[in-house]
Amino acid sequence: MAKILIVDDERVLVKGIKFNLEHEGYQVQDAYDGEEAVELAREGGFDLIILDVMMPKIDGLQACMRIREFSNVPIIMLTAKGEDTDKIIGFECGADDYLTKPFNILELKARVRALLRRAGAAQQQRSGNELAAGHIILNTGERTASRGGVSVELTAKEFDLMELLMRNPGRVYSRENLLNVVWGYEYIGDFRTVDVHIRRLREKLELDPANPEYIRTKWGVGYYLSARGPRRLENV
Protein backbone atom coordinates (compact mmCIF):
# COMPACT_ATOMS: atom_id res chain seq x y z
CA MET A 1 0.00 0.00 0.00
CA ALA A 2 1.09 3.57 -0.70
CA LYS A 3 3.15 5.50 1.86
CA ILE A 4 2.00 9.06 2.61
CA LEU A 5 3.74 11.91 4.45
CA ILE A 6 1.51 14.45 6.26
CA VAL A 7 3.13 17.76 7.24
CA ASP A 8 1.23 20.33 9.31
CA ASP A 9 1.94 22.14 12.59
CA GLU A 10 -1.67 21.57 13.71
CA ARG A 11 -1.15 18.31 15.55
CA VAL A 12 -4.85 17.61 16.10
CA LEU A 13 -5.51 17.96 12.36
CA VAL A 14 -2.55 15.71 11.53
CA LYS A 15 -3.85 13.09 13.96
CA GLY A 16 -7.29 13.14 12.33
CA ILE A 17 -5.97 12.90 8.76
CA LYS A 18 -3.56 10.14 9.74
CA PHE A 19 -6.34 8.13 11.39
CA ASN A 20 -8.58 8.38 8.32
CA LEU A 21 -5.84 7.51 5.82
CA GLU A 22 -4.60 4.58 7.88
CA HIS A 23 -8.20 3.36 8.01
CA GLU A 24 -8.06 3.31 4.19
CA GLY A 25 -5.00 1.07 4.39
CA TYR A 26 -2.29 3.64 3.68
CA GLN A 27 1.01 3.75 5.56
CA VAL A 28 1.27 7.24 7.06
CA GLN A 29 4.16 9.23 8.56
CA ASP A 30 3.77 12.69 10.10
CA ALA A 31 5.93 15.79 10.47
CA TYR A 32 5.31 19.27 11.86
CA ASP A 33 7.51 21.79 10.03
CA GLY A 34 8.82 22.52 6.55
CA GLU A 35 12.45 21.62 7.20
CA GLU A 36 11.51 18.18 8.51
CA ALA A 37 9.29 17.69 5.44
CA VAL A 38 12.21 18.36 3.08
CA GLU A 39 14.57 16.04 4.94
CA LEU A 40 12.03 13.20 5.07
CA ALA A 41 11.20 13.67 1.39
CA ARG A 42 14.94 13.59 0.56
CA GLU A 43 15.18 10.16 2.20
CA GLY A 44 12.55 9.00 -0.29
CA GLY A 45 10.03 6.20 -0.15
CA PHE A 46 6.87 8.34 -0.12
CA ASP A 47 4.18 7.98 -2.78
CA LEU A 48 2.42 11.22 -1.86
CA ILE A 49 2.92 14.24 0.43
CA ILE A 50 0.20 16.32 2.07
CA LEU A 51 1.79 19.68 2.89
CA ASP A 52 0.37 22.64 4.83
CA VAL A 53 1.32 26.14 3.67
CA MET A 54 1.65 27.98 6.99
CA MET A 55 4.33 26.21 9.06
CA PRO A 56 7.34 27.09 11.24
CA LYS A 57 10.99 27.18 10.09
CA ILE A 58 10.15 27.21 6.38
CA ASP A 59 6.64 27.42 4.99
CA GLY A 60 4.97 24.85 2.78
CA LEU A 61 5.63 26.78 -0.43
CA GLN A 62 9.38 26.90 0.23
CA ALA A 63 9.35 23.25 1.27
CA CYS A 64 7.50 22.31 -1.92
CA MET A 65 10.03 24.14 -4.10
CA ARG A 66 12.95 22.44 -2.33
CA ILE A 67 11.34 19.01 -2.69
CA ARG A 68 10.79 19.66 -6.39
CA GLU A 69 14.54 20.10 -6.82
CA PHE A 70 15.05 16.36 -6.29
CA SER A 71 11.66 14.62 -6.42
CA ASN A 72 8.48 14.43 -8.49
CA VAL A 73 6.43 12.89 -5.67
CA PRO A 74 2.78 14.09 -5.86
CA ILE A 75 2.08 16.95 -3.41
CA ILE A 76 -1.28 18.17 -2.10
CA MET A 77 -1.10 21.62 -0.51
CA LEU A 78 -3.39 22.49 2.42
CA THR A 79 -4.10 26.13 3.26
CA ALA A 80 -6.55 28.43 4.99
CA LYS A 81 -6.14 30.84 2.05
CA GLY A 82 -8.71 30.26 -0.64
CA GLU A 83 -7.95 33.04 -3.11
CA ASP A 84 -7.21 32.06 -6.71
CA THR A 85 -3.85 33.85 -6.54
CA ASP A 86 -2.83 31.69 -3.57
CA LYS A 87 -3.71 28.54 -5.49
CA ILE A 88 -1.77 29.73 -8.53
CA ILE A 89 1.30 30.38 -6.37
CA GLY A 90 0.97 26.89 -4.91
CA PHE A 91 0.85 25.29 -8.34
CA GLU A 92 3.79 27.37 -9.55
CA CYS A 93 5.80 26.16 -6.55
CA GLY A 94 5.25 22.59 -7.71
CA ALA A 95 2.04 21.42 -6.02
CA ASP A 96 -0.12 18.90 -7.87
CA ASP A 97 -3.34 19.70 -6.03
CA TYR A 98 -4.66 22.31 -3.62
CA LEU A 99 -7.25 21.98 -0.83
CA THR A 100 -8.62 24.86 1.24
CA LYS A 101 -9.23 24.53 4.98
CA PRO A 102 -11.65 23.61 6.40
CA PHE A 103 -12.17 20.64 4.08
CA ASN A 104 -14.22 17.48 4.00
CA ILE A 105 -12.05 14.45 4.79
CA LEU A 106 -13.93 12.52 2.08
CA GLU A 107 -12.75 15.05 -0.49
CA LEU A 108 -9.16 14.76 0.72
CA LYS A 109 -9.30 10.96 0.46
CA ALA A 110 -10.76 11.22 -3.05
CA ARG A 111 -7.95 13.56 -4.12
CA VAL A 112 -5.36 11.23 -2.59
CA ARG A 113 -6.75 8.29 -4.56
CA ALA A 114 -6.83 10.30 -7.79
CA LEU A 115 -3.22 11.48 -7.46
CA LEU A 116 -1.99 8.00 -6.57
CA ARG A 117 -3.73 6.58 -9.65
CA ARG A 118 -1.98 9.14 -11.87
CA ALA A 119 1.33 8.41 -10.19
CA GLY A 120 1.04 4.65 -10.64
CA ALA A 121 3.78 4.56 -13.25
CA ALA A 122 6.11 6.47 -10.92
CA GLN A 123 5.47 3.94 -8.16
CA GLN A 124 6.50 1.09 -10.46
CA GLN A 125 9.62 3.03 -11.40
CA ARG A 126 10.72 3.09 -7.77
CA SER A 127 10.54 -0.71 -7.63
CA GLY A 128 13.76 -1.03 -9.58
CA ASN A 129 13.63 0.40 -13.12
CA GLU A 130 16.96 1.29 -14.63
CA LEU A 131 18.17 4.59 -16.05
CA ALA A 132 20.57 4.52 -18.97
CA ALA A 133 22.69 7.04 -20.84
CA GLY A 134 24.57 5.20 -23.56
CA HIS A 135 26.95 2.78 -21.84
CA ILE A 136 26.09 4.13 -18.36
CA ILE A 137 23.36 2.32 -16.43
CA LEU A 138 22.00 3.01 -12.95
CA ASN A 139 19.67 0.64 -11.16
CA THR A 140 17.80 2.94 -8.79
CA GLY A 141 16.21 0.08 -6.88
CA GLU A 142 19.43 -1.78 -6.14
CA ARG A 143 21.56 1.41 -6.23
CA THR A 144 24.10 -0.16 -8.54
CA ALA A 145 25.95 1.27 -11.53
CA SER A 146 27.68 -0.14 -14.57
CA ARG A 147 29.77 1.10 -17.50
CA GLY A 148 29.51 -0.92 -20.67
CA GLY A 149 28.11 -3.86 -18.74
CA VAL A 150 30.89 -3.82 -16.14
CA SER A 151 29.88 -3.11 -12.54
CA VAL A 152 31.22 0.15 -11.09
CA GLU A 153 31.36 0.99 -7.38
CA LEU A 154 29.92 4.41 -6.54
CA THR A 155 29.81 6.06 -3.14
CA ALA A 156 26.40 7.06 -1.79
CA LYS A 157 26.86 10.71 -2.77
CA GLU A 158 28.27 9.82 -6.19
CA PHE A 159 25.19 7.70 -6.84
CA ASP A 160 22.79 10.40 -5.61
CA LEU A 161 24.52 13.00 -7.78
CA MET A 162 24.50 10.81 -10.89
CA GLU A 163 20.88 9.79 -10.36
CA LEU A 164 19.82 13.44 -10.12
CA LEU A 165 21.58 14.28 -13.39
CA MET A 166 20.19 11.22 -15.19
CA ARG A 167 16.64 11.93 -14.10
CA ASN A 168 16.91 15.47 -15.46
CA PRO A 169 18.84 15.27 -18.76
CA GLY A 170 19.75 18.63 -20.24
CA ARG A 171 19.03 20.54 -17.03
CA VAL A 172 22.05 22.54 -15.88
CA TYR A 173 22.71 22.57 -12.13
CA SER A 174 25.00 25.11 -10.51
CA ARG A 175 27.48 23.82 -7.93
CA GLU A 176 25.50 25.61 -5.21
CA ASN A 177 22.28 23.94 -6.37
CA LEU A 178 23.93 20.50 -6.41
CA LEU A 179 25.29 21.05 -2.90
CA ASN A 180 21.82 21.97 -1.66
CA VAL A 181 20.01 19.09 -3.36
CA VAL A 182 22.49 16.24 -2.90
CA TRP A 183 24.27 17.21 0.31
CA GLY A 184 21.42 19.17 1.94
CA TYR A 185 20.86 22.80 2.87
CA GLU A 186 22.57 22.32 6.23
CA TYR A 187 25.80 21.06 4.65
CA ILE A 188 28.79 23.23 5.49
CA GLY A 189 31.34 22.66 2.79
CA ASP A 190 33.12 23.97 -0.25
CA PHE A 191 31.84 24.09 -3.84
CA ARG A 192 34.95 22.09 -4.75
CA THR A 193 33.23 19.09 -3.18
CA VAL A 194 30.94 19.03 -6.21
CA ASP A 195 33.86 19.36 -8.64
CA VAL A 196 35.66 16.43 -6.99
CA HIS A 197 32.57 14.21 -7.20
CA ILE A 198 31.97 15.13 -10.85
CA ARG A 199 35.60 14.29 -11.65
CA ARG A 200 35.30 10.93 -9.91
CA LEU A 201 32.07 10.12 -11.73
CA ARG A 202 33.73 10.88 -15.05
CA GLU A 203 36.70 8.68 -14.16
CA LYS A 204 34.40 5.83 -13.20
CA LEU A 205 31.67 6.11 -15.84
CA GLU A 206 32.94 7.93 -18.94
CA LEU A 207 34.87 6.01 -21.59
CA ASP A 208 37.14 9.02 -22.02
CA PRO A 209 37.08 11.07 -18.78
CA ALA A 210 39.12 13.86 -20.35
CA ASN A 211 36.44 14.29 -23.04
CA PRO A 212 33.18 13.34 -21.28
CA GLU A 213 30.30 12.38 -23.51
CA TYR A 214 27.53 12.48 -20.92
CA ILE A 215 28.60 14.24 -17.71
CA ARG A 216 29.09 17.67 -19.22
CA THR A 217 30.12 21.13 -18.04
CA LYS A 218 28.28 24.33 -18.94
CA TRP A 219 31.14 26.74 -18.49
CA GLY A 220 30.40 29.47 -16.01
CA VAL A 221 27.08 27.85 -15.05
CA GLY A 222 27.38 24.26 -13.80
CA TYR A 223 26.98 20.60 -14.75
CA TYR A 224 24.41 18.58 -16.68
CA LEU A 225 23.79 15.23 -18.33
CA SER A 226 23.90 15.36 -22.10
CA ALA A 227 20.33 15.49 -23.45
CA ARG A 228 20.96 12.46 -25.67
CA GLY A 229 20.13 10.40 -22.55
CA PRO A 230 18.91 8.92 -20.43
CA ARG A 231 16.41 6.42 -21.72
CA ARG A 232 14.41 4.30 -19.33
CA LEU A 233 14.89 0.56 -19.72
CA GLU A 234 11.61 -1.31 -19.97
CA ASN A 235 11.08 -4.87 -18.83
CA VAL A 236 10.33 -7.12 -21.80
| Class for the domain spanning 129-233 | mainly alpha
String of DSSP letters for 6-38: EE-S-HHHHHHHHHHHHHTT-EEEEE-SHHHHH
**Domain positions in the chain:** 3-125, 129-233
- The conformation of residue 173, written as its DSSP 8-state character, comes to B
Structure confidence by residue, pLDDT tens digits, 39-48: 999 887 788 9
Structure confidence by residue, pLDDT tens digits, 160-199: 999 999 988 888 999 988 988 888 756 666 778 899 999 9
Highest mean pLDDT (candidates 108-122, 181-195, 207-221) = 207-221
Q: Exposure pattern of 61-91 as b/e (b: 16+ CB <10 Å)? A: bbbbebbebbbebbbbbbbeeeeeebbebbe
What helix, strand, coil percent values describe the chain, rounded to 5? 40, 20, 35
The CATH number given to 3-125 is 3.40.50.2300
pTM of the prediction?
A: 0.56
pLDDT tier at 134, thresholds 50, 70, 90: confident
